[in-house]
Amino acid sequence: MNADALKKMAAEAALSYIQPGMVVGVGTGSTTNFFIDALGAAKIHVDGYVASSIATENRLKAQGLNVLDLNSTGDIPVYVDGADEADPHFRLIKGGGAALTREKIVASAARLFVCIADSSKDKPMLGKFPLPVEVLPFARSFVARQLVKLGGTPTLRNGVTTDNGNVIIDVTGLDFTDPVKMEAAINLIPGVLDNGIFAHRRADVMLFGSPDGVIEKK
Ligand code: ABF
Protein backbone atom coordinates (compact mmCIF):
# COMPACT_ATOMS: atom_id res chain seq x y z
CA MET A 1 0.00 0.00 0.00
CA ASN A 2 1.29 3.47 -0.75
CA ALA A 3 1.48 6.28 1.80
CA ASP A 4 -1.65 7.98 0.46
CA ALA A 5 -3.75 4.84 0.99
CA LEU A 6 -2.50 4.66 4.59
CA LYS A 7 -3.20 8.36 5.20
CA LYS A 8 -6.72 7.97 3.79
CA MET A 9 -7.35 4.98 6.06
CA ALA A 10 -6.32 6.96 9.16
CA ALA A 11 -8.35 9.99 8.02
CA GLU A 12 -11.53 7.98 7.50
CA ALA A 13 -11.12 6.31 10.92
CA ALA A 14 -11.22 9.78 12.51
CA LEU A 15 -14.86 10.16 11.40
CA SER A 16 -15.84 7.98 14.36
CA TYR A 17 -14.88 10.88 16.66
CA ILE A 18 -17.24 13.33 14.95
CA GLN A 19 -20.77 13.63 16.31
CA PRO A 20 -23.72 15.74 15.10
CA GLY A 21 -23.89 19.18 16.73
CA MET A 22 -20.14 19.45 17.38
CA VAL A 23 -17.73 22.16 16.37
CA VAL A 24 -14.74 20.41 14.79
CA GLY A 25 -11.22 21.78 14.42
CA VAL A 26 -9.51 20.79 11.21
CA GLY A 27 -5.76 20.69 10.60
CA THR A 28 -3.71 21.12 7.46
CA GLY A 29 -1.86 18.82 5.09
CA SER A 30 -2.37 15.87 2.79
CA THR A 31 -3.70 13.52 5.50
CA THR A 32 -6.12 16.16 6.70
CA ASN A 33 -7.22 16.71 3.11
CA PHE A 34 -8.40 13.09 3.05
CA PHE A 35 -10.28 13.81 6.29
CA ILE A 36 -11.97 16.88 4.77
CA ASP A 37 -13.01 14.84 1.73
CA ALA A 38 -14.40 12.14 4.04
CA LEU A 39 -16.33 14.80 5.99
CA GLY A 40 -17.80 16.11 2.75
CA ALA A 41 -19.00 12.64 1.83
CA ALA A 42 -20.25 11.71 5.34
CA LYS A 43 -22.54 14.75 5.69
CA ILE A 44 -22.58 14.67 9.51
CA HIS A 45 -24.71 17.54 10.79
CA VAL A 46 -22.03 19.32 12.83
CA ASP A 47 -22.36 22.97 13.90
CA GLY A 48 -19.31 23.89 11.84
CA TYR A 49 -15.57 23.64 11.36
CA VAL A 50 -12.66 25.76 12.56
CA ALA A 51 -9.87 25.78 9.97
CA SER A 52 -6.17 25.87 10.92
CA SER A 53 -5.12 27.45 7.60
CA ILE A 54 -6.41 29.28 4.58
CA ALA A 55 -5.83 26.15 2.48
CA THR A 56 -8.01 24.11 4.83
CA GLU A 57 -10.68 26.82 4.93
CA ASN A 58 -10.83 26.79 1.14
CA ARG A 59 -11.04 23.00 0.97
CA LEU A 60 -13.80 22.88 3.59
CA LYS A 61 -15.77 25.50 1.70
CA ALA A 62 -15.26 23.65 -1.58
CA GLN A 63 -16.93 20.66 0.11
CA GLY A 64 -19.86 22.88 1.08
CA LEU A 65 -18.90 22.70 4.78
CA ASN A 66 -19.58 25.53 7.21
CA VAL A 67 -16.43 27.32 8.41
CA LEU A 68 -16.53 29.13 11.77
CA ASP A 69 -14.29 31.78 13.32
CA LEU A 70 -12.45 30.47 16.40
CA ASN A 71 -13.27 33.79 18.10
CA SER A 72 -16.94 32.87 18.07
CA THR A 73 -16.84 29.19 19.04
CA GLY A 74 -15.27 29.05 22.51
CA ASP A 75 -13.40 25.81 23.24
CA ILE A 76 -14.06 23.08 20.72
CA PRO A 77 -14.79 19.40 21.39
CA VAL A 78 -12.41 17.82 18.91
CA TYR A 79 -9.48 18.68 16.64
CA VAL A 80 -8.25 16.38 13.88
CA ASP A 81 -4.85 16.94 12.26
CA GLY A 82 -1.82 15.18 10.83
CA ALA A 83 1.80 15.23 11.97
CA ASP A 84 5.30 14.89 10.60
CA GLU A 85 6.49 12.72 13.51
CA ALA A 86 4.89 11.26 16.64
CA ASP A 87 6.68 9.72 19.62
CA PRO A 88 5.31 7.02 21.99
CA HIS A 89 3.96 9.73 24.33
CA PHE A 90 1.97 11.28 21.42
CA ARG A 91 4.28 14.29 21.36
CA LEU A 92 4.57 15.55 17.80
CA ILE A 93 6.61 17.49 15.31
CA LYS A 94 4.33 19.43 12.99
CA GLY A 95 4.63 22.33 10.61
CA GLY A 96 5.91 20.71 7.42
CA GLY A 97 3.00 22.52 5.80
CA ALA A 98 3.94 25.83 7.51
CA ALA A 99 0.61 26.07 9.40
CA LEU A 100 1.97 25.17 12.84
CA THR A 101 1.02 28.32 14.77
CA ARG A 102 -2.68 28.24 13.92
CA GLU A 103 -2.63 24.43 14.27
CA LYS A 104 -1.30 24.75 17.82
CA ILE A 105 -3.90 27.38 18.69
CA VAL A 106 -6.79 25.22 17.47
CA ALA A 107 -5.30 22.07 19.05
CA SER A 108 -4.98 23.94 22.35
CA ALA A 109 -8.58 25.15 22.15
CA ALA A 110 -9.74 21.56 21.67
CA ARG A 111 -10.72 19.15 24.42
CA LEU A 112 -9.65 16.16 22.30
CA PHE A 113 -6.84 16.11 19.73
CA VAL A 114 -7.05 13.19 17.31
CA CYS A 115 -3.87 12.86 15.26
CA ILE A 116 -4.05 11.02 11.94
CA ALA A 117 -0.98 9.74 10.10
CA ASP A 118 0.46 6.90 8.12
CA SER A 119 2.49 4.51 10.26
CA SER A 120 5.85 5.82 8.94
CA LYS A 121 5.31 8.85 11.23
CA ASP A 122 5.31 6.61 14.34
CA LYS A 123 8.82 7.14 15.79
CA PRO A 124 10.57 6.02 18.99
CA MET A 125 11.83 9.60 19.41
CA LEU A 126 11.28 12.99 17.78
CA GLY A 127 13.97 14.79 15.84
CA LYS A 128 14.69 13.23 12.46
CA PHE A 129 12.23 15.61 10.77
CA PRO A 130 13.63 19.19 10.68
CA LEU A 131 11.78 21.30 13.24
CA PRO A 132 9.77 24.16 11.68
CA VAL A 133 9.83 27.47 13.56
CA GLU A 134 7.59 30.39 12.52
CA VAL A 135 9.48 33.66 12.82
CA LEU A 136 8.72 37.36 12.23
CA PRO A 137 10.71 38.39 9.13
CA PHE A 138 12.24 41.30 11.10
CA ALA A 139 13.83 38.84 13.55
CA ARG A 140 14.91 36.11 11.09
CA SER A 141 18.66 36.49 11.46
CA PHE A 142 18.59 37.09 15.23
CA VAL A 143 16.37 34.04 15.81
CA ALA A 144 18.63 31.88 13.63
CA ARG A 145 21.61 32.78 15.83
CA GLN A 146 19.69 31.90 18.99
CA LEU A 147 18.69 28.54 17.49
CA VAL A 148 22.39 27.82 16.90
CA LYS A 149 23.01 28.56 20.60
CA LEU A 150 20.36 25.92 21.42
CA GLY A 151 22.41 23.39 19.41
CA GLY A 152 20.47 23.57 16.14
CA THR A 153 21.35 24.15 12.52
CA PRO A 154 18.78 26.57 11.06
CA THR A 155 17.80 26.83 7.39
CA LEU A 156 15.40 29.42 6.02
CA ARG A 157 12.60 27.75 4.04
CA ASN A 158 12.90 29.54 0.71
CA GLY A 159 9.86 31.05 -0.95
CA VAL A 160 7.47 30.31 1.93
CA THR A 161 5.35 32.96 3.66
CA THR A 162 2.92 31.69 6.29
CA ASP A 163 -0.77 32.59 6.49
CA ASN A 164 0.31 35.05 9.19
CA GLY A 165 2.86 36.80 6.93
CA ASN A 166 5.95 35.25 8.53
CA VAL A 167 8.86 33.03 7.50
CA ILE A 168 9.70 29.45 8.45
CA ILE A 169 13.12 28.38 9.72
CA ASP A 170 13.68 24.60 9.69
CA VAL A 171 16.07 23.37 12.37
CA THR A 172 18.05 20.15 12.52
CA GLY A 173 20.36 18.82 15.22
CA LEU A 174 18.35 19.82 18.31
CA ASP A 175 18.24 17.60 21.38
CA PHE A 176 14.76 16.08 21.79
CA THR A 177 15.40 14.26 25.07
CA ASP A 178 12.95 16.66 26.72
CA PRO A 179 10.55 17.97 24.04
CA VAL A 180 8.49 20.04 26.52
CA LYS A 181 11.63 21.89 27.60
CA MET A 182 12.85 22.43 24.01
CA GLU A 183 9.40 23.65 22.91
CA ALA A 184 9.41 26.26 25.69
CA ALA A 185 13.06 27.28 25.15
CA ILE A 186 12.50 28.03 21.46
CA ASN A 187 9.31 29.96 22.15
CA LEU A 188 11.18 32.20 24.60
CA ILE A 189 13.28 33.62 21.74
CA PRO A 190 11.86 37.07 20.84
CA GLY A 191 10.58 37.00 17.28
CA VAL A 192 9.46 33.36 17.39
CA LEU A 193 5.72 33.01 16.88
CA ASP A 194 5.70 29.32 17.68
CA ASN A 195 7.52 26.12 16.84
CA GLY A 196 6.38 22.74 15.57
CA ILE A 197 6.95 20.77 18.78
CA PHE A 198 3.54 19.75 20.12
CA ALA A 199 4.60 18.45 23.52
CA HIS A 200 2.85 20.82 25.91
CA ARG A 201 -0.34 20.16 23.91
CA ARG A 202 0.29 16.67 22.57
CA ALA A 203 -2.25 14.47 20.85
CA ASP A 204 -4.79 12.51 22.92
CA VAL A 205 -5.44 9.82 20.32
CA MET A 206 -3.20 8.53 17.53
CA LEU A 207 -4.72 6.87 14.47
CA PHE A 208 -2.01 5.32 12.32
CA GLY A 209 -2.89 3.89 8.91
CA SER A 210 -0.76 0.76 8.51
CA PRO A 211 -0.64 -2.17 6.07
CA ASP A 212 -2.39 -4.22 8.81
CA GLY A 213 -5.22 -1.67 9.19
CA VAL A 214 -5.73 1.32 11.47
CA ILE A 215 -3.76 1.24 14.71
CA GLU A 216 -5.50 3.31 17.39
CA LYS A 217 -3.50 4.41 20.44
CA LYS A 218 -4.89 6.43 23.35
C1 ABF B 1 0.03 19.22 9.16
O2 ABF B 1 0.12 18.11 8.42
C3 ABF B 1 1.36 19.66 9.52
O4 ABF B 1 1.56 20.12 10.78
C5 ABF B 1 2.21 18.54 9.17
O6 ABF B 1 3.37 19.14 8.77
C7 ABF B 1 1.45 17.89 8.12
C8 ABF B 1 1.60 16.43 7.92
O9 ABF B 1 1.71 16.27 6.58
P10 ABF B 1 0.89 15.29 5.71
O11 ABF B 1 -0.45 15.06 6.30
O12 ABF B 1 0.83 16.02 4.40
O13 ABF B 1 1.76 14.07 5.65
O14 ABF B 1 -0.80 19.02 10.19
- Residue 2 CA from chain centroid, whole number: 22
Band the pLDDT of 213: cuts 50, 70, 90: very high
β-sheet bridge partners, residue 49: 24, 67
Q: How far, in Å, from the CA of 4 to the mean position of ligand 1?
A: 12
Sign of CA dihedral 61, 40, 70, 9: negative
Residue 79 has what pLDDT?
98
Instruction: Calculate how far, in angstroms, residue 18's C-alpha sits from the geometric centre of ligand 1.
Output: 20
Strand partners, 113: 79
DSSP assignment, residue 136? Answer: -
- Name 43's Cβ contacts closer than 8 Å, sequence gap at least 6: none
Q: Write out pLDDT tens, residues 40-61.
A: 999 999 999 999 999 999 999 9
| Statement: residue 1 has pLDDT above 90 | no
- Helix H or strand E segment including 172: strand 167-172
